[in-house]
């Protein structure tokens, strides 16, 4: 079992199935009916180094999404802000395995 | 004794307790490593890399000192949180291993977890107390 929480508002849930954690967590941060991890995963600069000096390549620009890093903060490889033209990254979440998930394996 | 511990490490502890050998040297801190293929008590898993799990650094992250709290009813629980934030899409994590910080690090504990795949920007957090070592499994 896993605890999922929104890094922005603190909204949380617990799930057994982690096949799509970005969709499993419902909170009020992003009112747009779209996948909340797809844009982040599609970021061409998401290789650990960000995309300094390079514009966001997300096709819809993500202009309706409000769940982003505040304007003025550095992009960490996909997490820009409302003031960054074309940035389409949504809501980062924290995944916490609960104790039952990390018991050492039996032989 | 089941498969929680690396058998080589277990053997060194047994020699200390049963044979009069010197206590094994453990160089702190313990580090938590993430595995994309689980190991066993006799073989290492395949560790994640910064390539297939951007935001992760090979060698793992410190669990602090002490890494575990005092044993209670046969169970030792991790004392500190350990977390990573993905800076790109991750390959699935299916296991964890606990290694020491010796010049040539030694693996002490291993276990499987339910598969976790991070999207870019998401954080994987092992909260304090979430990693347990149960004496009944040694």
The model's confidence at residue B93, banded by pLDDT at 50, 70 and 90, is: very high
Option in A2, A18, A105 nearest B112 (CB): A105
Of all residues in chain B, what percent carry a pLDDT higher than 90? 58
Least confident of A73-77, B60-64, B93-97: A73-77
Cβ–Cβ contact B4 with A under 8 A: yes
Q: Are the beta carbons of A92 and B123 separated by less than 8 Å?
A: yes
SS3 B16: helix
Q: Are the beta carbons of A18 and B131 separated by less than 8 Å?
A: no
Q: What is the mean pLDDT of chain B?
A: 89
The model's confidence at residue A11, banded by pLDDT at 50, 70 and 90, is: confident
pLDDT score of B135: 80
Residue to substitute from B44, B119, B138, interface A, most A β-carbons within 10 A: B119
The residue to which tokens 């977890």 are assigned: B113
From residue A106, how far is each of A12, B13, B14, B27 by CA, in Å? 31, 19, 19, 26
Q: Are the beta carbons of A105 and B134 separated by less than 8 Å?
A: no
Per residue in B103-134, pLDDT tens?
999 998 888 888 898 887 789 999 999 998 88
Dihedral Cα A22, A7, B62, B129, nearest 10 deg: -80
CA A7 to chain centre: 9
pLDDT score of A89: 52
Cβ–Cβ contact B136 with A under 8 A: no
Q: Are the beta carbons of A106 and B137 separated by less than 8 Å?
A: yes
- The residues that bridge with B31 in the sheet, in sequence order, are B62, B99
Per residue in B12-47, pLDDT tens?
888 998 999 999 989 999 999 999 999 888 889 999
The more confident residue out of A82 and A11 is: A11
pLDDT score of A1: 85
- The residues that bridge with B76 in the sheet, in sequence order, are B133
pLDDT at A42 over 80: no
Q: Are the beta carbons of B132 and A92 separated by less than 8 Å?
A: no
Distance from CA of A42 to the nearest CA of B (A): 9
């Amino acid at each position: 079992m896993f605890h999922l929480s929104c890094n922005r508002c603190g909204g949380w849930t617990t799930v057994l199935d982690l096949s799509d954690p970005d969709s499993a967590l419902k909170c009020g941060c992003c009112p747009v009916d779209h996948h909340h991890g797809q844009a982040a995963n599609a970021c061409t600069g998401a290789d650990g180094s960000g995309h300094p000096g390079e514009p966001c390549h997300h096709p819809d620009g993500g202009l309706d999404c409000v769940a982003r890093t505040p304007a003025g903060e550095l992009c960490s490889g996909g997490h820009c802000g409302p003031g960054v033209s074309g940035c389409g990254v949504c809501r980062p979440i924290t995944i916490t395995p609960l104790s039952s998930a990390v018991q050492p394996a039996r032989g | 004794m089941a498969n929680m511990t690396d058998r080589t490490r277990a053997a060194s502890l047994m020699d200390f307790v049963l044979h009069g050998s010197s206590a094994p040297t453990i160089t702190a801190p313990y580090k938590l490593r993430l595995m994309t293929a689980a190991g066993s008590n006799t073989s290492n898993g395949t560790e994640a890399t910064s390539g297939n799990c951007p935001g992760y650094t090979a060698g793992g992250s410190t669990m602090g000192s002490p890494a575990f709290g005092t044993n209670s009813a046969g169970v030792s629980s991790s004392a500190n949180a350990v977390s990573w934030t993905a800076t790109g899409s991750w390959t699935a994590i299916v296991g964890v291993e606990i290694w020491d910080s010796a010049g040539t690090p030694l693996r002490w504990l291993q276990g499987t977890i339910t598969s976790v795949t991070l999207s870019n920007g998401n954080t994987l957090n092992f909260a304090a107390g979430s990693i347990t070592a149960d004496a009944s499994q040694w």
